[in-house]
Amino acid sequence: MRKKITMIVIIVLVIAILATSIIAISEARKMNRKTTRNHVIAITNWLTTEHSQSSDLIHDAKMLIDHHVARDIPLRVTLIRTAGEVIYDSEAEDLESHLTRPEVQKVLKTGQPAEEIRYSKTLEYDLYYYAALIVDSDIIVRIAYPLSLEDDTVRSVRTHVLLIGLISILLMGAVLAFAIQKISQPLETITESFERLAGGITATRIEESHQVYPEVRRLSASYNRMADTLEEQQASLKQKQSFLDALIGNLASPIVVIDERADVIFINERGMQTFRRFIDPVKHPYPLFLLTHDEEISERAIALISGQTQDRELVKTLTTSEGTRSYHLTLSPLHERRVAILFHDRTAEAEAALLRSDFVANVTHELRTPLTSIRGMIDTLRSGRVMSQEQADRFLQLMEVESERLERLVSDLLILSDIEQSPIKLNEDYFDLTELANEVITQLEPYASEESVTLKLSQSDRFHVSANRDRVKQLIMNLLDNGIKYNRPGGTVTLSWSAFDIRETSDDRQNLSRLTFSVEDDGVGISESDQSRIFERFYRVDRSRSQEPRGTGLGLAIVKHIALLYNGDVSVQSRLGIGTIIHASLLVPVEKQE
Amino acid sequence: MVNRPEFQEDLAAIHRDMIHLGSMAEAAINKAMQALRENNAVLAHEVIQGDDAIDNLEREITQECVRLIARQQPRASDLRDITANMKLVTDLERIADHAEDIAGNTLAIIDSGLTIEIPSDFLMVNDLVTHMLHEALDAYVSRDLSLAYHVIRTRNRIGFVGQGLSKLIVDTMLDQPRLIPALVQLILVANHLQRAADHTQNVAEWIVYHLRGTYVSELDELPSEDELDRRTDSESAPSYLGDDSDTSETEE
């Protein structure tokens, strides 16, 4: 651009200067010729009017010539008679007849002076000829005045004009270069910035205040604004991208993206691990079937892409590196005829659902058994087949036992749901643990002696505990009750506890201790396979004992729930035929009494 | 190299079908072994029923290969590709056949009404075979030479374990003659597993032939992993290569 502007300006300048010099030169020449002509006419007039004698005339002519030669003007004067005889010629070598010359011919014809400009071949320049008849004589004066002399003046004018033109071109060029530099420099900077921006390099900013021209300043300002916007958008895109990458990468569920032929084109880290295929699908695409070994998923995805179905949910049992699991698949159509498939492992949920329905079935069963007995006995009593009072009393006694069992079951269920649902104040009471234990033992004593089991409280530290007294009592009661129930006659059930501080206190400032209750019996013991299940609701080691009126199958489940309520846990140690120790620990504030 | 796009598309279609067939064979073996471990007659029946689809796909692939050779007359590496696939397809189909046989044996065990404990060595062979097949498929998909060599090397270890296995089952027969009808089936299953391992080794060898154009003979000393790393640069060597403990899939 800079070159183009410079070229155009210089061409315009050259043309202007050329035109000026041509006009100036022609004007100068015109003026010069006018002056020459006037001068020649004046000389001729002087010769023609003042002199009639030829000798004088020759003398004057010679004087005139000398005068001019002294000024380096080769003036030529010729005196011709009308008959054709040459009287005088300042350059006398050529004395041929001059009558044939056009100017002389004109004078002869009209009697008036005549002029002519002719190129002289011998002298190689233009000559101005002027001829006139001397008054009252037959002599014609002819003067030849070299025009080359006046051309010298013109030439000098031309030289000056050209010189001035050259200087002005140089000056203009310099000024122009400076001006163009001023415009193009910032343009170049802006161009470079744009190029860098296009190349993906961090955009630079242009100093607006340094710009001289307001147009460039505006351009710079809008460039800066654009760079700002672009950078903002880029940053937000990058943020979104990294957010998505992190999200998908760390997702605990496999995600697979497939194309319209059900070929895998993306799989997240988790997916690779789950399906144990560490192939980069970008480099080596492969069918989804290789991962899932299931046709239906691929078919559903293709149907979804082609719009044949809108059903995006699918439940599948797949064998993966995590074993045979139940997956809930969500298919989401993406742009460009692709589908993202999310594999949600819902094995745990399925198990939980199974557990829930088991629980309901269990509760129903446990409730129905005593109810059926009571109904049966009522029917029998009504039918009138019971004759003796003794029999009737026996029936009533049995009905009482069954209703007690129902009552216990309902109250246990209530306790369980209470623990599970209603948040209670965990540390609302402050009580003496030994006192509480003695209270429970006193309460259970009749039942224990009925079963010929001795209850013992081992020598434990005296503690004051901040907890819900009812819950702790329930826990001790259930543990002891369980020990009595599964003991043999003559056995012993021993309750003990211990506590140790936990340094890392949790959210509140209370100093928590791990308080562990242990109940040891020397009863039948629990087999290893049953040990993990005894804390489940309605689980009974010995199914045949489930009809026993005292047990609800919820005792240890309640113990476990109370322990969990206080962030503790339960465990069991047992050997068949030797005995069982059940531990239940709670995290509670404990104060040791001296 | 035939550069016609039509040809390349057809070849890609064969590759897709091959991966599909391989996956089906893998699923069949896994399912058959699961049926054996869990005494699951339903699964065993599924395997037997699924074999027809595998046979059909094998025939389709073979025909497609023949058609491609006849029509396009490929040369050099393209011809080698198709030839390797024609050999591979047979081996994969045979693996699926062995899965079907194992399912049959499982049904026989279930029908006998006898409960036998499956020896842990047996489960180990099972793990090794499924792992081999899994890796062979990976090698096929990602054209990974070193993985293919790894599969061939794993086969040698199965032979070692397999010998002890037969002896163990025969000892059990002598101890508990009552279980013989079921244990005979178990020996057959062990045989099928080893045949399946042989075919998987073949698969790996055809992959090597496809990628390098050379046959792997038994006398050849297999290149070490280091050598392979040097030979096959960027294309291969995934991180789990040589991770033999990774048999979690079949343990479940």
Taking an 8 Å cut-off on Cβ atoms, the answer to whether A320 and B143 are in contact is no
pLDDT of res. A102:
80
CB of A323 within 8 Å of any CB in chain B? yes
Q: How confident is the model at residue B243 (pLDDT cuts 50, 70, 90)?
A: very low
Query: Cα separations (Å) of B137 from A295, B104, B157?
Result: 18, 25, 19
Mean pLDDT for B103-117 is 88
In the block, residue with structure tokens 């307001």: A214
Of A296, A302, A292, the closest CA to residue A262 belongs to A302
Interface of A with B in 293-312 (CB under 8 A): 293
Q: Quick one: tokens of A486?
A: 């599964």
The mean pLDDT value for A89-101 works out to: 67
Q: Would you identify the CATH topology of the domain A2-155?
A: Beta-Lactamase (3.30.450)
- Give the mean pLDDT of chain B: 82
pLDDT of residue B217: 66
Tokens read off for B25 = 């064979």
Higher pLDDT, A516 or A533: A516
Token output for A528: 């290893």
Contacts of B31 in chain A (CB under 8 A): 319
| For testing contact with chain B, the best of A273, A275, A289, A295 (most B CBs within 10 A) | A289
CATH number given to A346-421: 1.10.287.130
For B252, the closest chain A residue by CA position comes to A323
Q: Is it the case that residue B230 has pLDDT exceeding 70?
A: no
pLDDT for res B238: 35
A343 contact partners, CB below 8 Å, separation of at least 6: A253, A254, A255, A256, A271, A274, A318, A327, A328, A329
- Residue B233 at interface with chain A, using a CB cutoff of 8 Å: no
Whether B105 has a pLDDT exceeding 90, the answer reads: yes
Residue A19: partners with Cβ closer than 8 Å, 6 or more residues away: none
CA distance A238 to chain B (A): 29
Decide if A519 contacts A582 (C-beta within 8 A). yes
Span A163-201, pLDDT tens digits: 888 888 888 888 888 887 877 777 788 888 888 878 776
pLDDT digits (tens, 9 = 90+) for A195-231: 887 877 666 777 776 667 788 788 888 888 888 888 8
Residue B252 has pLDDT above 60, yes or no: no
Q: What is the pTM of this model?
A: 0.54
A422-474 per-position pLDDT tens digit: 666 777 788 888 889 988 888 888 888 888 888 888 877 888 888 888 888 88
Residues of A in contact with B30 (CB under 8 A): 293, 319
**In this structure, what token pair is assigned to residue A69?**
């030669």
pLDDT at position A509, please? 54
pLDDT digits (tens, 9 = 90+) for A569-593: 899 888 888 888 999 998 888 888 7
The pLDDT of residue B235 is above 70: no
The encoded tokens of residue A466 equal 């901040």
Which DSSP category does A520 fall into? E
Q: What is the mean pLDDT of residues B63-70?
A: 92
Considering A94-103, A569-578, B18-27, the range whose residues carry the highest mean pLDDT is B18-27
Does any CB of chain A come closer than 8 Å to the CB of residue B162? no
Structural domain containing residue B191? 5-251
Q: Give the model confidence (pLDDT) of A11-44 as tens digits.
A: 888 888 888 888 888 888 788 888 888 888 888 8
Predicted pLDDT of residue B250? 35
Q: Summarize the confidence of residues B107-129 as an average pLDDT.
A: 85
Of residues B26 and A141, the one with the higher pLDDT is B26
- Answer yes or no: CATH 1.10.1740.10 is held by domain A251-345: no
User: In CATH terms, are A2-155 and A251-345 the same topology?
Assistant: yes
pLDDT score at B196: 92
Measured between CA atoms, the residue of chain B closest to residue A298 is B20
- Chain B interface, best mutation among A264, A265, A269, A290, by max B CB count within 10 A: A290
pLDDT at B47 exceeding the cut of 90: yes
**pLDDT in the model for residue B251:** 34
Q: How many CB pairs under 8 A join A and B?
A: 56
- Strands A492-501 and A454-457 turn out to be parallel
- Name the residue with higher pLDDT: A53 or A398: A398
Query: Does the pLDDT value for residue B248 go beyond 70?
Result: no
CA distance B144 to A457: 70
Query: What is the predicted pLDDT for the residue at A345?
Result: 86
Distance separating alpha carbons of residues A333 and A427, to the nearest angstrom: 53
Q: What is the C-alpha end-to-end distance of chain A, expressed in Å?
A: 101
> What does the domain layout of chain A look like in residue ranges?
2-155, 202-248, 251-345, 346-421, 423-592
pLDDT over threshold 50, residue A298: yes
- The two three-digit tokens of residue A294, written as one number: 């299931």
Q: Distance between CA atoms of B200 and B206, rounded to whole angstroms?
A: 10
pLDDT tens readout for residues A340-372: 999 988 888 877 787 777 778 888 888 888 888
Lowest-confidence segment of A242-251, A312-321, A486-495, A501-510 by average pLDDT: A501-510
Residue B85, pLDDT score: 92
Buried b (16+ CB within 10 A) or exposed e, A415-440: bbeebeeeeeebbeeebebbebbeeb
Q: Could you report the per-residue pLDDT of A62-91, keeping only the tens digit for each?
A: 888 888 877 777 788 888 877 777 777 777
Q: Does B236 touch chain A (CB under 8 A)?
A: no
Determine the residue of chain A that is closest to B25 in CA distance.
Answer: A293
Cβ atoms of B102 and B189 closer than 8 Å: yes
- Give the pLDDT confidence score for residue B233 in this predicted structure: 41
3 state DSSP class of A321: coil
* Two tokens, residue A339: 């589908």
Contacts of B141 in chain A (CB under 8 A): 277, 279, 284, 286, 290
Q: What is the pLDDT of residue B52?
A: 92
Q: What pLDDT is stored for residue B101 in this prediction?
A: 94
What was the pLDDT predicted at B23? 92
Quick one: A423-592 is in which CATH superfamily? Histidine kinase-like ATPase, C-terminal domain (3.30.565.10)
What distance in Å separates the CA atoms of residue A407 and residue B228, rounded to the nearest whole number? 75
Angle CA B201–B102–B186, to nearest 5? 100
pLDDT band of residue B134 (cuts 50, 70, 90) is very high
Residue A266, Cβ neighbours under 10 Å: how many?
Answer: 18
Q: Chain B residues with CB inside 8 Å of A320's CB?
A: 249
**Residues of chain B above pLDDT 90, percent:** 39
Supply the CATH number for residue B142's domain.
1.20.58.220
Q: How many CB atoms lie within 10 A of CB A399?
A: 18
Judge whether A113 and A53 are in contact, CB under 8 Å.
no
Which of B143, B249, B252 is facing A284, going by the closest CB pair? B143
Mean pLDDT of A409-420: 83
Q: Is B249 on the interface with A (CB under 8 A)?
A: yes
Kindly tell me if the per-residue pLDDT of B91 is higher than 90.
yes
Sequence-ordered list of residues with C-beta below 8 angstroms from that of A51, at least 6 positions apart, any chain: A57, A60, A134
Decide if B23 and A283 are in contact by the 8 Å CB cutoff: no
Number of structural domains chain B divides into: 1
Contacts of A323 in chain B (CB under 8 A): 251-252
Where b means 16+ CB within 10 Å and e means fewer, A496-515 reads bbebeeeeeeeeeeeebbbb
Distance from CA of A201 to the nearest CA of B (A): 29
Residue B19 touches partner A, C-beta closer than 8 Å: yes
Q: How far is B15 from chain A (nearest CA, A)?
A: 9
Strands A114-120 and A86-89 come out as: unpaired
CA dihedral (A198, A204, A205, A211) in degrees, to 10, reads: -80
Whether A564 and A587 have beta carbons less than 8 Å apart is answered as no
Say whether A284 and B142 touch across the interface (CB within 8 A): yes
- What pLDDT is attached to residue A574? 85
Residue B231 banded pLDDT, cuts 50, 70, 90: very low
The full 3-state SS of A86-155, as one line of letters, equals EEEECCCCCCCCCCCCHHHHHHHHHCCCEEEEEEECCCCEEEEEEEEECCCCCEEEEEEEECHHHHHHHH
CA distance B48 to B26: 14
Q: What is the pLDDT of residues A121-135, one digit of tens each?
A: 777 777 888 888 877
To which H or E segment does residue A315 belong? strand A313-320
Average predicted confidence (pLDDT) for chain A: 82
Mean pLDDT score, A277-288: 87
